[in-house]
Amino acid sequence: MRYCGRDFADWELLEIRRLIADNPRASRARLSRLACEQLGWRRADGRLKDMSCRVAMLRMQDDGLIQLPPRCNGNGNGRPYGRRTSEAEPELFPVVASAGALVDLHLDPVEPSKASHLWNEYIARYHYLGYQPLPGAQLRYFATAHGKVLALMGFGAAAWKIAPRDRFIGWTAEQRQSRLQLVVNNARFLLLPWVHCQNLASRLLSMATRRLADDWQKRYGYRPVLVETFVESPRFRGTCYKAANWIYLGETQGRGKLDKDHTASLPRKSIWAYPLVKDFRRILCD
């Protein structure tokens, strides 16, 4: 059986069942860590892939292969982000300037828990998709100038399978399965609604792609080589990505990753990509 990009042999499913039986009071999070340790499922930097394992075990349960204990606490996924603070209140006066006039513009990775909550709150309040946890390995940024937050960016795990991107890379299914972690997804990009700065979006994209591989290496121990993103059309045209030299790859089919009935009920999205190194195809396909 295959879950979350990993093949599970029969003996591994039996081992997961044994772990569940031997640890009746363990939470689902604890069981996923135990399973990773037992099966040797780790990231490139040696850390356990417990989040992927947790998702895999939930899907095993849906398929009737295992029976997990009841949830200890809800994780909040699917519920509105309820935090409301004065720090994320709308600005009374708009920020109007050209991007070139913002001499102290910089990106700050989100690190402390307080900054993390503030990033989540801004996204929940002002991004049209709202807040949801980013999947897998991730980096989030605040873009600030003159002491004010102007924009937010979030990068997470790449889409598992997307035909235009996969044709662009030219990799096989086996290469994609083993090297997908070298592609990251620009999952959120928000200019706060009171910020009106010409060319700011494309400038921030350029700043992010220049530092992303270094920041990823520092946090996770390996360097991504390609960034992707999906722009909902016709809501947006992807102008800032084009201006930042991202490459248009085509459109999604509007099905989504959980569409098993081929209903294509979701909005179509244009697909854009940006190589972080010149020889990204060799690294992904060699």
- How distant, in Å, are the alpha carbons of 90, 173, 223, 230 from that of 166? 40, 9, 19, 14
pLDDT of residue 73: 63
pLDDT of residue 259: 47
Q: What is the count of structural domains for the chain?
A: 2
Q: Are residues 51 and 131 in the same domain?
A: no
90-129 pLDDT per residue, tens: 887 888 888 888 889 999 999 878 899 999 999 999 999 9
Q: Are residues 127 and 207 in the same domain?
A: yes
pLDDT of residue 3: 86
Segments forming the whole domain that contains residue 274: 86-285
Asked whether residue 68 is domain-assigned, the answer is no
- Residue type (1 letter), 218: K
**Among 62, 78, 108, residue at a domain's last position:** 62
pLDDT of residue 265: 65
Strand bridging mode 106-109 / 95-98: unpaired
Q: Are residues 107 and 229 in the same domain?
A: yes
- Tell me if 248 sits within 8 A of 269, measured CB to CB: no
For residue 234, whether the previous peptide bond is cis, meaning omega lies within 30 degrees of 0, is yes
Phi (first) and psi of residue 152, to 5 degrees: -135, 145
pLDDT of residue 51: 84
Asked whether residue 79 is domain-assigned, the answer is no
Q: Are residues 120 and 46 in the same domain?
A: no
| Residues of the chain with confidence (pLDDT) below 70 | 73-80, 255-265
For residue 133, what are its two tokens? Answer: 């946890």
Q: Are residues 147 and 267 in the same domain?
A: yes
Asked whether residue 208 is domain-assigned, the answer is yes
Q: Are residues 206 and 274 in the same domain?
A: yes
Q: Are residues 146 and 204 in the same domain?
A: yes
Q: Are residues 9 and 108 in the same domain?
A: no
Q: Which residues contact 38 (CB under 8 A, 6 or more apart)?
A: 15, 19
Radius of gyration of the chain from its Cα atoms, rounded to whole angstroms? 20
CATH number, domain with residue 120? 3.40.630.30
Place of tokens 């879950």: 3
- How distant, in Å, are the alpha carbons of 32, 61, 115, 218 from that of 110? 26, 34, 6, 14
